[in-house]
Amino acid sequence: MCNNVVALGNATADGSVLFGKNSDREPNEAHYLRAIPRATHAPGSVVQCTYIEIPQVAETNAVLLAQPCWIWGAEMGANDQGVVIGNTAVYSKVPYETGPGLIGMDFLRLALERANTARAALDVITSLLEKYGQGGNDGFSFKFYYHNSFLIADATSAWKLETAGRQWVAQQIKDIGATTNALTITTQYDLASKDLVQYALQQGWCKSPADFNFKQCYSGPGFYPSYLYTLLGRGDQRQARLMSLLNQQKGQLTPKSIMTILRDHGANQPSDWSPGPGFFENTVCMHAGFGPIRVDQSCGSLVSRLTATGQNHWATGSSAPCTGLFKPVWVDALPDTGPAPTERYNHTSLWWRHESLHRAILQDYAHRLAAFHPEQAALEAEFIAGALAQTNAPPAERLAFATASFAQADALTQKWANQMLTMPVQQPPPGLYTRAWNKFNKEASFVEGNTQAYTNMP
């Protein structure tokens, strides 16, 4: 599960292009922020992706990536040319290729490394898709297969690309756009694979080209697994919610607006809302829980601001954006966040240090988040303003600012993780929810109330 949003300059407060994504993965599937410099490659070189290797290009762009800990590719990222991409899992009637191949995150990284514009990134993905297909296990602790959609943007344009096997369709965004875990493109699109309609006709999904509707033909409705994944994951509902939130501020959207959208838990939620109850709590800011449908958690988040003269990015580098801090980063200015995390608790990793706070908040979500929120909001406002002021500063100055910001965020996280050890629980989560998180904690060798993250900070 994932959620992406984009707003072009005609929908933002300052004319910039804004992008945001929550990456939803398993609760212990730690994310890692990486910056990889521009590089040249010898003729005949190959690149080893998650499962297969493919020919390398002569030169690759510098990239900023947010990676699940075990994957070569990335869930979201940016390059030094001002291109940003986020992917989402989508489910279709086209059979999944279960053998080794390129997975959605591989396509994303390859496009960032090879493309200088949003349209060029789209072309990279579709050409690789048609040549290699998309295949391989996308799951972390269990086998899971899906197809992918992509939201791609640069400082002047944005594209929505949706795939089903080796078929694909693309739509240029005019002002605002969003993607979740459902196909959204119907009869209006700008680009498509050459046999998109013919394939649907051959499968009997429509009677004539005039009847063709990509979403209806390739995904549903019907009684088959792909439609059930879309239905139970509430992809269409989250899509509608994201578009509603974007429309509410259309023309006035800011980086803070995008951060707030990524923290959304639905309309008309009570002040004491908690992620504990329910078996289908698939919100924009997603929280894992009990049951086979609530296996995913927002494990990393990114917000980007793109202009012709510069770019800014803010990444949590941690799970649950509602409990985290969006910190300033750049493709050429990423602070040291510690060693690459794994699925096991490790206090030297940024992602796991934040889990000491995140998992403490879950013990009494509404009250503990409310206590933490004022300082969270104040510090994040400083990060936004400071990053905007540093947009075109020399790399060394931006790195110094980003490093100081990460240190401030770590200190605030430390303070509240320790403070919550002594806070009484006013509204404990339901027993089944607690049972689920006890299992997640056991699998990660994580102990609730563990302050090792701070008493032994590097």
Q: Which two three-digit tokens encode residue 330?
A: 């750049």
H-helix or E-strand spanning residue 355: helix 350-361
Q: Which amino acid is at 428?
A: P
285 catalytically annotated:
no
CA 369, distance to chain mean position in Å, is 22
Q: Which two three-digit tokens encode residue 89?
A: 């899992």
Catalytic residue among 2, 49, 69, 217: 2
> What's the count of helices (H) and strands (E) in the chain, helices before strands?
12, 18
Instruction: Count Cα neighbours of 111 within 13 Å in the Cβ-side half-sphere.
Output: 37
The strand pair at 297-307 and 176-179 is best described as unpaired
Is the peptide bond prior to 221 cis by the omega test (within 30 degrees of 0)? Answer: yes
Cβ atoms within 10 Å, residue 214: 26
Alpha helices in 233-343 (DSSP H): 235-248, 255-262
Q: How far apart are CA 343 and CA 341, in angstroms?
A: 7
Residue with tokens 């344009």: 157
Cα angle 358-390-245, degrees, rounded to a multiple of 5: 50
Instruction: Count Cα neighbours of 161 within 13 Å in the Cβ-side half-sphere.
Output: 32
**From residue 14, how far is each of 7, 10, 237 by CA, in Å?**
11, 9, 29
Q: How far apart are CA 441 and CA 322, in angstroms?
A: 20
The strand pair at 191-192 and 297-307 is best described as unpaired
Q: How far apart are CA 327 and CA 321, in angstroms?
A: 11
Asked if 93 and 224 touch (Cβ cutoff 8 Å), the reply is: yes
* Concatenated DSSP letters of 1-62: -EEEEEE-GGGBSSS-EEEEEEEEE-TT--EEEEEE--EE--TT-EEE-SS-EEEPPSEE--
Q: Which residues are catalytic?
A: 2
